[in-house]
Amino acid sequence: MKLTKFFFGVLLFSILFSLASCSSDSSSSDDGGNSGKIMIDASNSETWVYYNVHDMKVVEVADPQNSLDWDIAFKRYQVKTNSGTSGSGNAGVLNLYDANYDEVLKAPKGYYCQDDSISITMVTEEHYSYNKEFYDWYNMAGGMPPQMSSKGYTYVVRQADGQNYFKLKFESYYNPETEDSGFLTMDIAPLAETSEEMIMDIKKAEIDATSQASWVYFSFEKGEEVMVENPEESQDWDIAFNRYRVKTNSGTSGNLGFGALLIGDTDDGAEFKKIREFDGNEEFTADEDMIDYSGNPFSGNPVLYYMADMSSMPPPADSTRIYAVQTAKFNYVKLQFTYYKSGEIKFRYEKNLTAKW
């Protein structure tokens, strides 16, 4: 998998790091384990702070890659779990978004996303491993320094042992007494039971890309078409269409995603539902300069270009192919085209597909 990425907003992130408080102490308070509210001092931009949910405390970990003593870790606004590329545990994260935190009493079945790696290129390249479900737990407002606030999402997190779960919601990024940044206040509580309920979120979309004069941009996060002024620099779109041409926010079309990967071959809707993960070691294909069937140059994705079966006229959608698309915000989406006719496109998709390492 390609790891080096450029992305919009890196300058703001670098400002955050340069203005970070560099305290070397990490602390938590949990009212003796009763209230479930903790504050983690993750203000040191050079050090991860490791947390054990069972004991409700920060722990010192000599070898985090091979230790099961920690479940979740924090460094400034970054969050990782003991899973995937971050550790040998079987942790994972399920984002329930706007679900009422107090009403989440059991851990549901669903996509428990494990950790993945990414590289950010600024002046030098920084490589780190984290959990993509936590990528946008915050809102960032302008200013110097930028101000960060929690989106209030409810997360269910599987612990490193792969058997126990807890729920988590971020409240604040600032020390309430000093207003220093990097102090994460969270609600956190173990979930004593698991549920047989399977979290499914399969959505359908219809796109009118019949005009050859313009591209139609779509955001998986918003679930709708979006207007984009500078697609090569924008984080607001994930996939775009111009008749049978398809591009993603990657490579020659954008600088944020990995592109697309073929992960299944079936037109059975039930089989589409069953695909919950893919091999994280598989290589995604980013966008590149291409020549379309009419001999015209364009920037597009070679894998998704075959969403229309050009062996038939007029070409229908090739509804047997199931793809993984890595979005502009680094999450993975499962995608399958179900209809194509002269630029009228229908597809189904589900967010938060998991890369399994």
pLDDT, tens only, 143-189: 667 788 999 999 999 999 999 999 999 999 999 899 899 999 999 99
Task: Summarize pLDDT for 231-288 with one digit per residue, the tens.
Answer: 998 989 999 999 999 999 999 998 777 899 999 887 766 788 888 888 888 889 999 9
Both 213 and 169 in one domain: the answer is: no
pLDDT band at 217 (very low <50, low <70, confident <90, very high): very high
The encoded tokens of residue 209 equal 């890309």
207/333 same-domain check: yes
Q: Is the same domain home to 269 and 319? A: yes
The domain boundary, picked from 156, 182, 198, lies at: 198
What would the mean pLDDT of 47-69 be, rounded to a whole number? 93
Domain range for 100? 4-198
CA distance 109 to 95: 12
Number of folded domains that form the chain: 2
Inform me whether the pLDDT recorded for 79 exceeds 80.
yes
- Cα–Cα distance, 39 to 259 (Å, whole number): 37
On whether both 223 and 137 belong to a single domain, the answer is: no
Residue 270 to residue 290: CA distance in whole angstroms: 34
DSSP letters spanning 276-287: -EEETTSPPB--
Residues 192 and 262 grouped into a single domain: no
Question: Residues 299, 151: one domain?
Answer: no
